[in-house]
Chain A
Amino acid sequence: MDMGIVERTAADARTASAVPPVKGALIAVEGDAVRGLLPVSMDEAHAMVVRLLPPAHAQSLWAEVLTVAGLTGTEADLPSMINLVQALTQAADPVVAMCARGLQIRLASYQLLRFTQTLVIGGTP
């Protein structure tokens, strides 16, 4: 079966090529968004920490994460966001670290769909 659902085992899927298959349909892109999905932002990541922790704890963890990621907190570029989310997944608080995996999935989804869109329409990511 095509379109992302195939007769394969989970092990096959995990060892699949790092390059996603090119789909026949164009992927809708609006500005930086792909299918309405934007890359994770500094605000979004900060909001997650603030939502999950008491204020004082959130502030100190956020400062620590920025230090680990080598960021100032004002960056907006994709490589910085990747570093930030990676640092969050290593946070000492287990709930923050787990929810950061959610942000990591969002970032990866964005990158993979954006990459596919680039291949399909010949644009630039």
Chain B
Amino acid sequence: MTAKDRAPAPSPTGHSPAPAVPTAPRSPRPSPETLGSPEEVSALPTAHLEALADLDRLTAIASIDLLNPDLVERLDEISQRTMTRLGHPAAYVSIVLDTAQLILSSAGMSGWICQAGGTPIEWAFCGHTVALARPYTVEDASQHPAHQASPLVIEEGTRAYAGVPLVSATGQVLGAHCVIDSEPHRFTQDEIAELQAAAAEIVQVLTEHSMPAQTNSTSG
């Protein structure tokens, strides 16, 4: 089965603690021009979720052998290098799913996020990077309306974030590569360029570990 064979269906009623994922997953992604400022970003969670729930995007991610040890090892090397070169205390590679971000590789991180393997999508900085499909920076998350209430800020002490999207050859935004800091920081173009260079390498590694399209229509 391909993504195009999958039909969106109404969400069931009843409480749903996860963000309500839109029922039209292939809605057009909002243009970056309309989602620039913190105020605009925080005011458009539905637009973000629509982009993240895009079925073609999820299908592209599902084609990657994310559990491959070689894949993770190579991404760990890149994360470590990014962290060292940029001089921030942590860097990671996030694969952004529809309800959570999967932290596929990290350097300098510890605690419950590593143990959980990621975070719920509503707390993920990288969710914004993927939804916007362009570099996304937060100078001081404690003052940012979209992030100031997040446990990543309140409990984990994250203050600054810079992430760039991981865009596949077919144009799907799979995730993000980013650095974070516990101190406020204004990121420079050079730092973004360094992240983008690393992101290109990461996409190459992900591509090398992509599996042939699975046309599974027999499950269930």
Residues of A near any B CB (own CB < 8 A): 1-14, 16, 18, 20-21, 23, 25, 27, 33, 35-41, 43-44, 46-48, 50-55, 57-65, 91-99, 101-106, 108-109, 112-113, 116
Residue contact B155 to A23, C-beta cutoff 8 Å: yes
State how many angstroms separate the Cβ of A120 from the closest Cβ of chain B: 10
Residues of B near any A CB (own CB < 8 A): 1, 3, 5-18, 21, 23, 25, 53, 55, 58-59, 61-63, 66, 76, 79-80, 89-90, 97-102, 105-122, 150-151, 154-158, 180-182, 214, 216-220
Give the interface SS of chain A, mostly helix, strand, loop or mixed: helix
Residue contact A5 to B115, C-beta cutoff 8 Å: no
Would you list the 8 A-B pairs with minimal beta carbon distance, nearest first? A3-B157, A38-B17, A92-B219, A61-B220, A60-B220, A4-B156, A102-B100, A108-B116
State how many angstroms separate the Cβ of B191 from the closest Cβ of chain A: 17
The one of B11, B66, B89, B115 in contact with A51, judged by C-beta atoms closer than 8 angstroms, is B11
Give the interface SS of chain B, mostly helix, strand, loop or mixed: loop
State how many angstroms separate the Cβ of A47 from the closest Cβ of chain B: 5
Residues on B with beta carbons closer than 8 Å to the beta carbon of A1: 89, 182
Cα(A91)–Cα(B120), bound, Å: 21
Cα(A123)–Cα(B107), bound, Å: 33
The one of B16, B102, B115 in contact with A47, judged by C-beta atoms closer than 8 angstroms, is B16
Cα(A24)–Cα(B164), bound, Å: 32
The one of A3, A95, A101, A108 in contact with B55, judged by C-beta atoms closer than 8 angstroms, is A95
State how many angstroms separate the Cβ of B53 from the closest Cβ of chain A: 7
The one of A21, A51, A65, A104 in contact with B25, judged by C-beta atoms closer than 8 angstroms, is A51
